[in-house]
Chains A and B, each alone.
Chain A
Amino acid sequence: MNYTLDFTPVINGLPSLLAACLGTLGLAVGGMVLAIIIGIGGVILRDSPIRPVRWLVKAFVELIRNTPFLVQIFFIYFALPLAGLRLDPTPTAIIALGINGGAYAIEIIRGGVQSISKGQVEAGLALGLHKSQVFRLIVLKPALRAIYPSLTSQFILLTLTTSVASAIAAYELTSVAQRIESDSFRSFEVYGAVTLFYLVMSWLLMSIFGLIQSRYFSYPVK
């Protein structure tokens, strides 16, 4: 092996790689916010008294969890314009990530909600609170606490999945790396550096999740 490492393209490309990291984090955070909204909304609708609504949520979860994300993001990217909605790659990627993450979040959060005892709900109802208040004020927080580790690892996965958005040329780390790599042919160095960047971003997000946990979910339990 007489491969000589040459990090010059990486060093020269560093400003654009770091900027692209922010692009990746933007996609990730945007996707997570949407996923949380879809997740909580989906859990509520999943137990709707209206049967077709419940059925739709189930079908949505099945569809998303049993098809590849790459196909989903292409579908959204190319199908939305047919429906008259033309979006840039980056918002499209956020929507796709949110929809994908949301389907998983529905199942995860639902597990948390089911772990809350019926007695909690009954205590809320007996105090004159409405069903929706009971969910929002009594069930939701302990439910999220119960599944917080699963939800956050799903969100780390979502963050790493942002690289798939390079397929529609959304602004994020992998697509910028691809450009630098194809200009310099320094694949090993470029993807080595990018791997490290992803690792650092995952760690960063995990420590933020940890802070959120200690701030909001640290009430004592038995």
Chain B
Amino acid sequence: MTSLEHASPATETPMIVMEHVDKWYGEFKALTDINLAVRAGEKIVLCGPSGSGKSTLIRCINHLEIYQKGAIRVEGITLGSDPGTIDAVRREVGMVFQNFNLFPHLTVLENCTLAPMRSLRMSKAKAEATARRLLDRVKILEQAEKYPAQLSGGQQQRVAIARALCMGPKVMLFDEPTSALDPEMVKEVLDTMVALAEEGMTMICVTHEMGFARQVADRVIFMASGEIVEEAPPEVFFSNPSHERTKKFLGEILHRH
């Protein structure tokens, strides 16, 4: 892993650019005029009430969802300009899901080597070496030969992070990675994410873990009804939110925790 931390933000093109993105599910407008630029190494926390479009937004970035208007560029590649761009972008962008989505019929190690071997045409030996290194990094190497069903939720989610990292992504997208976990397992996953952030990974995290947001986010983005309502560095976002909806949301979320 190369560190991206010292890249100069001012002079380079952003890692992710979303311009005027609109998305409908049939008649329902899920995203409205989304504009977002994420620099290399930047950590974004995306929050907002249920149904506000957070998942939809990040799923547009790796084209799990199609959008009807606007443009998305990842590493200068414009999504959808030809079919190859989707593959190219997906190889650069790792995603971690709320429900882990590990492949149940493959061991932990095989979960991690499948895509590098099949998508990047990596040799088995190299893919396994990479997988073992990353499993070690998420502190779960000793479980490499087990099947997902034999692991706890927290362990599964750490494997899912390692699996995504095995593709050598430049960006990691997290969609509520701790929401499906028992409370005692949240920390091990957040610690893994913090470590990843400290290594300079570009990250967009949908999460309501406000402690995590304070600790690692460069910017917190608040969404409501498919729009970006407010974005600010965490210090400002939490102590001095400018929009009424943000205040209301923060009131609810901080109250709950």
Asked if residues A219 and B105 are in contact (CB atoms below 8 Å), the reply is: yes
Which residues 149-180 in B have Cβ within 8 Å of A in the complex? 149-150, 160, 163-164, 167
The answer, yes or no, to whether B101 is at the interface (CB within 8 Å) is yes
* A222-B105 Cα distance, complex, nearest whole Å: 12
Asked if residues A126 and B105 are in contact (CB atoms below 8 Å), the reply is: no
Asked if residues A220 and B150 are in contact (CB atoms below 8 Å), the reply is: yes
Q: Which of B93, B105, B119 contacts A129 (CB 8 A)?
A: B119
Which residues 104-146 in A have Cβ within 8 Å of B in the complex? 117, 119-120, 122-130, 133, 137-138, 141-142, 145
Which residues 55-88 in B have Cβ within 8 Å of A in the complex? 62, 64, 87
Given A123-B97, A126-B64, are A221 and B104 neighbors across the interface (CB < 8 Å)? yes
Residues of the A chain whose Cβ atoms lie less than 8 Å from the Cβ of B160: 123
Asked if residues B150 and A122 are in contact (CB atoms below 8 Å), the reply is: no
Asked if residues A129 and B118 are in contact (CB atoms below 8 Å), the reply is: yes
Given A119-B97, A137-B114, are A127 and B104 neighbors across the interface (CB < 8 Å)? no
The answer, yes or no, to whether B103 is at the interface (CB within 8 Å) is yes
Q: Which of A126, A133, A137, A221 contacts B90 (CB 8 A)?
A: A126
Residue among A127, A128, A221 having the largest count of chain B Cβ atoms under 10 Å: A127
Asked if residues A122 and B91 are in contact (CB atoms below 8 Å), the reply is: no
The answer, yes or no, to whether B196 is at the interface (CB within 8 Å) is no
* A119-B164 Cα distance, complex, nearest whole Å: 15
Given A122-B97, A123-B97, A128-B91, are A133 and B118 neighbors across the interface (CB < 8 Å)? yes
Interface size class of A (residues with CB under 8 A): 20 to 34
Q: Which of B90, B99, B103 contacts A138 (CB 8 A)?
A: B103
* A90-B132 Cα distance, complex, nearest whole Å: 53
Residues of the A chain whose Cβ atoms lie less than 8 Å from the Cβ of B150: 220
* A184-B87 Cα distance, complex, nearest whole Å: 70
Residues of the B chain whose Cβ atoms lie less than 8 Å from the Cβ of A127: 90, 94, 114-115, 119, 163-164, 167
Residues on A lying within 8 angstroms of B by beta carbon are: 117, 119-120, 122-130, 133, 137-138, 141-142, 145, 219-222
Residues on B lying within 8 angstroms of A by beta carbon are: 62, 64, 87, 90-91, 93-95, 97, 99, 101-105, 114-115, 118-120, 147, 149-150, 160, 163-164, 167
30 A-B contact pairs sorted by A residue (CB < 8 Å)? A117-B99, A119-B99, A120-B101, A120-B103, A122-B97, A123-B95, A123-B97, A123-B102, A123-B160, A126-B90, A126-B94, A126-B164, A127-B163, A127-B164, A128-B87, A128-B167, A129-B115, A130-B87, A133-B119, A137-B114, A138-B114, A141-B105, A142-B103, A142-B104, A142-B105, A145-B105, A219-B149, A220-B147, A221-B104, A222-B149
Other contacts beyond A117-B99, A119-B99: 7, CB < 8 A: A119-B97, A122-B97, A123-B102, A126-B64, A127-B114, A128-B115, A142-B105
